[in-house]
Structure 1
Amino acid sequence: MGKVTFYGACGCVTGSCTHLRWGDTQILVDCGMYQGSDELDQRNWDPFEFTPSDLDAVVLTHAHLDHSGLLPKLAARGFTGPIYCTRPSRGLVSLILLDAGKIQEEQARYALKKGYSRYKDPKPLYTSEDANEALKLVQPLPFDQEREILPGIRICYRRAGHLLGAANVSITAKGSDGERRTWLFSGDVGRYGVPILKDPVSPDLVPDALLLESTYGDRLHEESNPKEELNKIIQETFARRGTVVIPAFALGRSQEMLYYLAELATEGQIDPATVFLDSPMAVKATRVYDAAVGEHDEELQELDDLVDPLAKDVFQHCSTVSQSKALNSRRQPAVIISASGMATAGRVVHHLAHHLPDERASVVLVGYQASGTRGRALQDGADTVSIHGRRVRVRAQIHTLAGLSAHADRRELRRWCAGLPGKARRLFLNHGEENARKALAAVLEEDGWPRAVLPFLGDSVPW
């Protein structure tokens, strides 16, 4: 009676999109943007493999672009149903989609101006107006309360860590004949014992099928002290009279960087006047974080003014394009936090173009760098990277902060699975590169889980 079809994040970590059919009901879990190689980016422009107007609802696990980024396109192609998310996600998804629409428009204009597009008149993937139309469909739900969203269809969100508002979600469907199925989508599982957010929750249920992420299924995070590592990089770079550029996701990772930098400023290790947050969306997102007091972990509750440097202008904000450009004329050392986290788009690209050729500078990678992204090329030691159609020489020092991730590693994924009261009859691993999926499948089988299905793009499984 049911069928699940995988339309994204199969063998990669972006473009999350899973289609559920139960009788005549169709639900989409996430509708994310692909990020990375040109081949992956092209998928964002391809037609949907389903008819948007036939969908009854979208269930969103969290606000990150790789899970929400194609919602405006979905609405523009005819979807008019509800988009469900958690209450804390509502503010973040509004920020990220409006920003994404603006970036799409800016990139189209820039490509036309510079002439590096293959098209004579490049168009945006979607517009700010498309994003606004999608946001009109959003209906927030609370954590830990099962709700009927469609006749015979109930969902329940539980905290996943990872990002403010991020959730795993159970979807229970009951047919007219009494047949019943429960799918559990892990969403992106966060880490245990890290600052700012509460730990991930393993639901108290045994699903028929578990669809589990596998981003770091093949590795263990190193034990490290990110704050001390960051301080060491800053001190060494400033001693060379260089600038530290930190590509950081505006949602989640920027707030974590501010957490550590605020501590360093409080300890007198750095001058807050040298720290620049060049991401209007990150500033707005931090205000959303600050307001969501109920989602803060004990550390942040005890230091409830820790993110106040944003509101009180202790750190410097670059709200306008001219302020952002002025940073590249600055002669004194600085720390620049700017989106995007994989250096695929946003203001950080301009900062990289300016500072990568400077051997005094440092670039600090603080999040997952997907295959094919500019950030991954830097992480892998590329001598040059392509920026706006030209090759830029890499002379700056490239650092990766070990152990700093919003994704659970293999041990933590096993811990999350072990927290369930029983094992699902079917196990599907997505949101991971192939080696990560295979490695996680092997250890979970050792733990007594059924042999995992590793779906490919477009695979459908009757259920």
Structure 2
Amino acid sequence: MIKRNEKDIYIQYLGGASEVGATSIFLYWKGERILIDSGARQVKDKYPIFEEINDDIDLFILTHLHGDHVGSLMECENKLNLKRMITSPDNKSMLKIALEDSQKILKSDFEKEKNEIKKQEIEKKLDIYSSENIDRVIRKMETKDFYKTIYLGKTNLKITFYKTSHLLGSLGILFEDGTYTLFLTCDFTESKKFFHQKTEFISKLKGKKIDTMITETTYGRNDESDEILKEKTLTDLSYGINKIFKNEGNVLIPCFALGRMQEVISAILRLILEGRISRDTKIYIHNSPNSLGIKYTEKYLEQSLDILAEELTINGKNYFEILNKKQSQIQNKQRNNFSLLKSLQKKLNIARYNPKEIASEFRKAEKAIFLIQEC
């Protein structure tokens, strides 16, 4: 690592700079040490280069819950001294499920592995992902709402989270100290195809002097407008569904990435409400109570009623007025025990399937779309 003095501002990517995966950014700001994200790759060398860090970390910031940004969080916390950890409330509310999901995968790998050396390696990882360690990290993780300021260290570094549209809870970060301003967009989606929380940092930062901006984007801008892309997607999707239904088949759509199922549900419902596919179409999502994907869908819908209503308002008629009326119940759901997903199921022909019986349920169903989300 490059030697620094206390007047320096310095950024080093420990992973993710020229790849998808293992995103982790070390930021040195005039004596303050900040680490942003700790992702993992889907290859043998999974983790960021933690060995480059030989100091305590004053603040760790988690931007969102995709694996390329959070996939090595437990390893990072185990290797480095993270004095403080912070993220948005939505991220923290789902973090334990994400970490426990990784724990389940490791346990499954351990049971299947025949090679004794590899088995020992998995066992070491399981120690890091113990329930006690997961609970400790969750307790350690603070939250800060968007646009609420954090002040760090003797330089009084001002840190503010801004909404991006990549995933529910995802954030961009503004750093200011009175003499220099840096904005990290982190992973964001400028194009709002179907069902994202709105990107606000572009309008919120308008007119503000930013000395340096570093951007990361999965989709970014396209040459075609959002509406053209949306219509092309809907046309292709409706054509495929109708062709399969005509041949008396059913549709299976993988939705493995977090946030993807919400977009797919939104697109299918729009096609149903516009009459472009049969109104008898039944949507199946799996019934696992501990599924990260299903829990995320419920959380996403609870937090995104305004977006859902906007996206599915057709010809001036809001088909989701009933859901908006239930919003007060959602906010007090402990007393009312109200589930938005249950309301969706009743109103929109959404059913649950048993993942272990999917083959037989898929064969028996008629005019059905099965959404597969194992994460």
| Coarse TM-score class (shorter-chain normalised) | 0.7 to 0.9
Structure-to-structure mapping, 1:23-422, within 5 angstroms: 23-35=30-42, 41-44=43-46, 48-51=50-53, 54-110=56-112, 112=113, 115=114, 119-121=118-120, 123=122, 125=125, 126-127=128-129, 129=131, 130-151=133-154, 152-173=156-177, 180-196=179-195, 197-202=197-202, 203-204=205-206, 205-216=208-219, 220=223, 223-225=229-231, 226-249=233-256, 251-266=258-273, 267=275, 269=278, 271-273=280-282, 275-277=284-286, 280-293=291-304, 296=307, 299=310, 303=320, 305=323, 308-309=340-341, 313=345, 314-318=349-353, 323-330=354-361, 331-332=363-364, 334-339=368-373, 346=374
SS in structure 1 of the partner of residue 44 of structure 2 = helix
C-alpha distance 19-77 of structure 1, shift in aligned 2 (>3 A) = same
Residue 22 (structure 1) aligned with residue 57 (structure 2): no
SS in structure 2 of the partner of residue 336 of structure 1 = strand
Shift in Å, 1:57: 1.0
SS in structure 2 of the partner of residue 55 of structure 1 = coil
SS in structure 2 of the partner of residue 7 of structure 1 = strand
Distance 1:155 1:218 in 2: 27
* Structure-2 residue corresponding to 1:399: none
Distance 1:148 1:158 in 2: 16
Which structure's residues are more often helix, by fraction?
Answer: 2
SS in structure 1 of the partner of residue 83 of structure 2 = coil
Distance 1:312 1:216 in 2: 29
> Do the aligned partners of 2:89 and 2:143 also contact (CA within 8 Å) in 1?
yes
Q: Deviations over 1:187-242 (max 9, x none)?
A: 12223454442234212433222111144469646624233432322222234454
SS in structure 1 of the partner of residue 108 of structure 2 = helix
- Say how many residue pairs are matched: 324
> Do the aligned partners of 2:147 and 2:161 also contact (CA within 8 Å) in 1?
yes
Q: Deviations over 1:405-441 (max 9, x none)?
A: xxxxxxxxxxxxxxxxxxxxxxxxxxxxxxxxxxxxx
> Do the aligned partners of 1:173 and 1:182 also contact (CA within 8 Å) in 2?
yes
SS in structure 2 of the partner of residue 188 of structure 1 = strand
SS in structure 1 of the partner of residue 237 of structure 2 = helix
Distance 2:253 2:109 in 1: 21
C-alpha distance 215-291 of structure 1, shift in aligned 2 (>3 A) = closer
C-alpha distance 288-150 of structure 1, shift in aligned 2 (>3 A) = farther
Distance 1:245 1:117 in 2: 38
Q: Deviations over 1:311-345 (max 9, x none)?
A: 55442334xxxx21210233235433223xxxxxx
> Do the aligned partners of 1:190 and 1:200 also contact (CA within 8 Å) in 2?
no
Runs of 4+ in structure 1 displaced over 6 angstroms?
A: none
> Do the aligned partners of 2:181 and 2:211 also contact (CA within 8 Å) in 1?
yes
Q: Deviations over 1:128-177 (max 9, x none)?
A: 52433322222111212332144422111111112112221112247xxx
> Aligned AA for 1:335?
I
SS in structure 2 of the partner of residue 44 of structure 1 = coil
Distance 1:46 1:100 in 2: 17
Distance 1:248 1:277 in 2: 12
> Do the aligned partners of 1:71 and 1:131 also contact (CA within 8 Å) in 2?
no
> Do the aligned partners of 1:172 and 1:181 also contact (CA within 8 Å) in 2?
yes
Shift in Å, 1:183: 1.8
CA RMSD of aligned residues (A): 3.3
* Structure-2 residue corresponding to 1:412: none
Q: Percent identity?
A: 20
> Do the aligned partners of 2:281 and 2:369 also contact (CA within 8 Å) in 1?
no
Shift in Å, 1:298: 6.1
> Aligned AA for 2:41?
Y
C-alpha distance 46-228 of structure 1, shift in aligned 2 (>3 A) = closer
SS in structure 2 of the partner of residue 223 of structure 1 = helix
Distance 1:290 1:274 in 2: 16
SS in structure 2 of the partner of residue 136 of structure 1 = helix
Distance 2:310 2:54 in 1: 43
SS in structure 2 of the partner of residue 93 of structure 1 = helix
C-alpha distance 15-87 of structure 1, shift in aligned 2 (>3 A) = same
Distance 1:200 1:160 in 2: 6
Q: Deviations over 1:262-308 (max 9, x none)?
A: 34455572545452346622221122123325874760595363994
Q: Deviations over 1:87-146 (max 9, x none)?
A: 232223333233233223323333x2xx48982545064525243332222211121233
> Aligned AA for 1:69?
G
Q: Which moved more, 1:266-275 or 1:144-153?
A: 266-275
Give me the TM-score of the superposition, normalised by structure 2.
0.74
> Aligned AA for 2:184?
F
Unpaired stretches in structure 1, ≥5 consecutive residues: 36-40, 175-179, 340-345, 348-463
Distance 2:47 2:68 in 1: 14
> Do the aligned partners of 1:3 and 1:21 also contact (CA within 8 Å) in 2?
yes
SS in structure 1 of the partner of residue 299 of structure 2 = helix
Give me the TM-score of the superposition, normalised by structure 1.
0.61
> Aligned AA for 2:199?
D
Q: Deviations over 1:356-398 (max 9, x none)?
A: xxxxxxxxxxxxxxxxxxxxxxxxxxxxxxxxxxxxxxxxxxx
Distance 2:221 2:192 in 1: 21
Distance 1:26 1:116 in 2: 40
C-alpha distance 47-190 of structure 1, shift in aligned 2 (>3 A) = closer
Shift in Å, 1:82: 2.2
Q: Which moved more, 1:216-225 or 1:18-27?
A: 216-225
